[in-house]
């Protein structure tokens, strides 16, 4: 079955916004994985669902949309958490890159795959799995086939963007100096960078001297104590819990997602970055980083911390104590 691109996108978007409270029509006979893969080959997005949440994963091919989580909604909030025509959990290994394709894994899991090509010698595969009641477990595996440019600065970096859809509160929250703090930038690129407190200054990356540095290089003045942060949308909370705490960094921009369709609001960027030190990096080696996105009704900071510990326990994430 081959569908026109526009109808595929329209169908996916409609499902994301109206699925709450309804069920998909069951097929007479379940498709095998091979059959499902064959049907999805001509498509560029896949709807995944588990428990209270539904999401669309798209590769962005042929659309004015970035690859990643095109849409995320909940039974408790049927509006897209991510900005339309942008996305969440948008990894730089796929953003604007040729030879990126969508891969069907199963009905609750989609993958984005980047094949090596001239000018971009890296293999990368990102999976997005919906897990009941309100989780998306995300995993990136990658292998460089040639030396990466930032190795000249002493590290290999991986950047993710999360372009949020007009939250009332633009800030992110994390533990700093033993207390939960709120952090938001004054403008785009103004002191957006937050490193971990559990690494010494000698262990942190050194930015290159440049007349035109990347916008996230300027430090905010804050450091985080644990590898997670959260943000609020209405009465919902989105929590991101990270594996590999020695490598994770936060950076955000209150205006990074651009203007909003809602007067007086903007679309913030709740972004993060992994830094692999040169001492731990090899060309041709397989690397894996993992995180859990939690999207549920906000029940207070104690519940947030419960979800953080639960993710670390269930997924076997490395913790700060183990990293030390």
| pLDDT tens-place string over residues 144-184 | 999 887 777 888 999 999 999 988 899 999 999 999 999 98
Cα–Cα distance, 242 to 225 (Å, whole number): 13
β-pair partners for 54: 49, 73
The whole-model pTM stands at 0.85
Tokens read off for 38: 């064959």
What confidence score (pLDDT) does residue 26 get? 39
Q: Residue 9: CA atoms inside 13 Å, Cβ hemisphere, count?
A: 15
Cα–Cα distance, 33 to 41 (Å, whole number): 12
What confidence score (pLDDT) does residue 73 get? 97
Which range has the top average pLDDT, 28-37, 49-58, 98-107?
49-58
Cα 13–chain centre separation: 19
| Record: fold of 5-19+34-323 | Beta-galactosidase; Chain A, domain 5 (2.70.98)
What confidence score (pLDDT) does residue 185 get? 79
Cα–Cα distance, 61 to 42 (Å, whole number): 11
Give pLDDT tens digits for 192-233.
Answer: 889 999 999 889 888 766 545 455 567 768 999 999 999 999
């Amino acid at each position: 079955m081959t569908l026109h691109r526009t109808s595929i996108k329209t169908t996916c978007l409609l499902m994301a916004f109206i699925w709450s409270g309804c069920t998909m029509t069951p097929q007479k006979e379940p498709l095998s994985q091979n059959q499902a893969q064959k049907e999805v080959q001509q498509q560029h997005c896949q709807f995944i669902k588990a428990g209270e949440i539904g999401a669309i994963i798209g590769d962005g091919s042929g659309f004015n949309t970035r690859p990643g989580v095109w849409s995320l909604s909940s039974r408790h909030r049927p509006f897209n958490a991510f900005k339309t025509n942008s996305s969440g959990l948008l990894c730089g290994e796929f953003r604007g890159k040729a030879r990126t394709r969508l891969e069907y894994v199963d009905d609750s899991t989609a993958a984005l795959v980047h094949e090596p090509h001239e000018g971009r010698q890296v293999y990368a595969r990102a999976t997005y799995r919906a897990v009941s009641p309100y989780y998306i477990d995300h995993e990136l595996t990658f292998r460089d086939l040639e030396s990466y440019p930032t190795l000249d600065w002493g590290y290999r970096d991986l950047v993710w963007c999360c372009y949020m859809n007009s939250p009332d509160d633009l800030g992110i929250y994390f533990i700093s100096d033993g207390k939960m703090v709120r952090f938001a930038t004054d403008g785009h690129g103004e002191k957006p960078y937050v490193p971990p407190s559990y690494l010494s200054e000698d262990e942190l990356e050194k930015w290159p001297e440049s007349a035109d540095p990347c916008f996230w290089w300027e430090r905010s003045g804050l450091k985080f104590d644990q590898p997670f942060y959260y943000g609020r949308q209405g009465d919902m909370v989105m929590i991101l819990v990270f594996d590999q705490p020695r490598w994770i960094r936060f950076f955000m921009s209150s205006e990074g997602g651009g203007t909003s369709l809602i007067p007086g609001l903007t679309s913030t960027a709740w972004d993060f970055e992994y830094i692999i030190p040169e001492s731990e990096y090899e060309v041709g080696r397989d690397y894996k980083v993992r995180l859990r996105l939690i999207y549920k009704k906000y029940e207070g900071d104690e519940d947030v911390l419960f979800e953080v510990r639960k993710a670390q326990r269930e997924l076997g994430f490395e913790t700060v104590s183990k990293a030390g």
